Chains A and B, each alone.
Chain A
């Protein structure tokens, strides 16, 4: 993530991130802070919280939020904030896998279809149409059932459901770029098709697809949480945000068990969406 760090010697990337971030609205800056916090949760959760996500203190079970337990405690007396922090790794990782699959497979298919056109485009186009015709969550559930109940399988399933939309966007962008004068000019300069595709078409087409990827990251967290909630994720004691919400829903006397993890999901998704929208607006 780009952050503004003032080192005495300005590394090029520092200057670049300074240029990128200068003039960004406050909401975008806040979003970047949220993402930064998230990254720390994922990489070194022990830095943020000293308690252990599986330490149960039965005496303290189902306590409401307090200075000692910001998000309260669950039915075993475990600190919910700690569980949310430790759950971040699983949630973010799976969302990353899901987006990665969509971006690489979907983007690749769209790129090939848009660039080569003709039969290639027709075949890819019909496959994409078919995928779009099946409701995403249903397709994901079917895939998880086939692959087995596990977080990573849920992520793969979510990724597969997003292939179609990535392919569509990439194809549209590539089609637009392919007709540019500078593409014809690249052939005139002696470029091969492969060279033109990767050196000229892709760098001009990837921007909005990348913005879509960031957007999809947010919705992947939600879909994976939904799958976990439905019981298609990893079995306990693994913890992810979806599982936390699912478990919390059994205890209606302790609404913070739902609302606190849910608030984290919402804030994360909103922040990422905000950054995505900001990236897409031309500056």
Chain B
């Protein structure tokens, strides 16, 4: 398969080549580390080492033990966990053997920590300044004024616009991105030699994510920090770290330089991971999507100049402002934007979960009256939604079979025997065995639950599926299997998808047309290839820039290891 420059150009080769300081010996060495919660081993015989100034990423899915390793390094393991074997050597001292009293001077001062969720990492009832002084006390300066100066300096260093104002603020007055900067600033304030960042960007919008990652890279370069980076995102890890350690079920599956692991993964798991990351494989579903039958043209879904505002303190807020969208039958249309862009509200308007202040919604041939409950109920027979989080969208007290059958029961479709047959079909279509029907959601994994949600949406044989970030709560390999399923179902059933997402690399993989939203207004609208290769608006460009730029992307996407080798 030839590279596809029209889309491939988006993945610019990695630009920043940090002037890595010459290796100065090992800073952190983890040897044969085994951690158990009671009888259950969650980390098994994990070894890796980091040189001074190096950056290393621990990659794995949820439950892979990556956070446990990081917490062992920081000595922040919960009480039930014990290190049963191995050693963690930091700057020549075995951290696991030290007493709490001996370790305390290291944590913070020598090993900095950037937590995953900035909103929960600060005390909401105390000012940021007060909390910053707790960290600044590590510097042992002569007085509060000197401490404050150091704090303001650190805030300025992480690019906070008005350090003095931030110092006086409370956490709720700052955005997630600013809070994460505050925490990074505080983490580097005592000039640690190692910074541990546990999914530092997973709760942030994509453009902010990029800014925070750039900040970490910059600080690393300027301060000569070593960075231990915990993430589930192979693309981000490969872009930002010198070397990678791939974990699964607490076992190291692969380790090596980022370039090497990405272009020539040796273990099966790393190969699977590499194939499943959307940013590296923009054309994964190209063949399957090209095979979709092009039936009668025409529009399945249309929004015409829809506007919706909500009452809020200080006057109404316009969540969706004059948005028009056209989705041709049998295609996938993506709504993209950051949180607050109005993409979810637009999807909810389309489903009749909110009623528009102005504008028209057309589904199939019907223009839907915003206030007719009856009409909406009829329309929803052909219009189904798959929620973002399968952990909350299924009634935990119901069995799978009944969940999938629910729309059939409610709309009174066919006799009982036919409903049962349709449920079995739907479960089979999403790749679940009939035996799953007797289970409750609590007994299923996240991926299985999302399959149940899709089966429920399919059981009634709708024309349109609205997918509200259907994989954002799931691991990347699970995401890939769900995406594969959706592409296949579209092919087989001629479904029309409205796909809400903030992940542009995913949109690039599966969408035909796209609407970029910002503050409730349409920024750009058109075919995915068009907009991704020639973005007209600066905001679109910023969103596209946030896709981790990974070298060799196209070679890897085509699964041609030898090409990747040649490129090396």
Contact = CB atoms under 8 A, between A and B. Distances in A.
A203 interface: yes
Given A181-B389, A191-B406, A195-B410, A186 B384 contact: no
B310 interface: no
Given A182-B395, A203-B395, 7 more contacts: A181-B389, A185-B385, A188-B385, A189-B407, A190-B381, A190-B410, A191-B410
Interface string B353-380: 1000000000000000000000001001
Contacts of A186: 395, 406
Given A184-B353, A195-B410, A189 B395 contact: no
A67 to B, nearest CB: 49
Contacts of B384: 188
Interface string B336-357: 0000000000000001010000
B393 A181 contact: yes
Contacts of A188: 351, 353, 380, 384-385
Interface in A182-215: 182, 184-186, 188-191, 195, 200, 203-204
B397 A203 contact: yes
A7 interface: no
Interface size class of B (residues with CB under 8 A): 20 to 34
A189 B377 CA distance: 9
A22 to B, nearest CB: 18
Interface in B381-426: 381, 384-385, 387, 389, 392-397, 406-407, 410-411
Interface of B is mostly: loop
A185 B393 contact: yes
A197 to B, nearest CB: 13
Contacts, number: 42
Contacts of B394: 182, 185
B232 interface: no
Contacts of B387: 181, 185
Given A180-B392, A200-B395, A204-B395, A190 B407 contact: yes
Given A181-B389, A181-B392, A184-B353, A189 B406 contact: yes
Interface of B: 351, 353, 377, 380-381, 384-385, 387, 389, 392-397, 406-407, 410-411, 456
Nearest to B402: A199
Interface string A149-193: 000000000000000000000000000000011101110111100
B375 to A, nearest CB: 13
B466 to A, nearest CB: 10
Given A184-B353, A195-B410, A189 B456 contact: yes
A205 to B, nearest CB: 10
Interface of A: 180-182, 184-186, 188-191, 195, 200, 203-204
B393 A190 contact: no
Given A188-B353, A188-B380, A190-B380, A182 B393 contact: yes
Contacts of B389: 181
A195 B411 CA distance: 13
A204 B397 contact: yes
A190 B380 CA distance: 8
Contacts of B395: 182, 186, 200, 203-204
Name the 3 nearest CB pairs between A and B, nearest first.
A190-B410, A181-B392, A189-B407
Contacts of B407: 189-190
A204 B397 CA distance: 7
Nearest to B381: A190
A161 to B, nearest CB: 31
Nearest to B397: A203
B456 A182 contact: no
Contacts of B392: 180-182
A188 B456 CA distance: 11
Nearest to B406: A189
A146 to B, nearest CB: 41
A188 to B, nearest CB: 6
Contacts of B377: 190
B428 to A, nearest CB: 20
Contacts of A181: 387, 389, 392-393
Contact of B396 (A184, A191, A195, A204): A204
Contacts of A182: 392-396
A224 B406 CA distance: 46
A206 to B, nearest CB: 10
A142 to B, nearest CB: 40
A180 B387 CA distance: 12
17 contacts: A181-B389, A181-B393, A182-B396, A185-B385, A186-B406, A188-B353, A188-B380, A188-B385, A189-B380, A189-B406, A189-B410, A189-B456, A190-B411, A191-B410, A195-B410, A203-B395, A204-B395
Nearest to B348: A184
A181 B394 CA distance: 8
Contacts of A204: 395-397
Most buried by B among A180, A188, A204: A188
A189 B411 CA distance: 8
Nearest to B396: A204
A203 B387 CA distance: 22
A180 B393 CA distance: 8
A164 B381 CA distance: 42
A17 to B, nearest CB: 19
Contacts of A185: 385, 387, 393-394
Candidate in A189, A191, A195, A204 with the most chain B CB atoms within 10 angstroms: A189
A55 B395 CA distance: 58
B415 to A, nearest CB: 18
A282 to B, nearest CB: 11
Contacts of B351: 188
B378 to A, nearest CB: 9
A204 B442 CA distance: 13
B423 to A, nearest CB: 13
A96 to B, nearest CB: 26
Contacts of B456: 189
Contacts of A191: 406, 410
A181 B396 CA distance: 11
A188 B396 CA distance: 17
B409 to A, nearest CB: 9
A183 to B, nearest CB: 8
B439 to A, nearest CB: 15
Contacts of A200: 395
A199 to B, nearest CB: 8
Contacts of B380: 188-190
Contacts of A195: 410
Nearest to B384: A188
A180 B441 CA distance: 15
Nearest to A185: B393
Contacts of B406: 186, 189, 191
A186 B392 CA distance: 12
A185 B397 CA distance: 14
A60 to B, nearest CB: 57
A181 B381 CA distance: 19
A138 to B, nearest CB: 40
Q: Give the residue among B387, B395, B396, B406 with the most A Cβ atoms within 10 A.
A: B395
Contacts of A184: 353
B453 to A, nearest CB: 8
B408 to A, nearest CB: 9
A135 B411 CA distance: 50
A195 B387 CA distance: 21
Nearest to A192: B410
A265 to B, nearest CB: 36
A191 B406 CA distance: 9
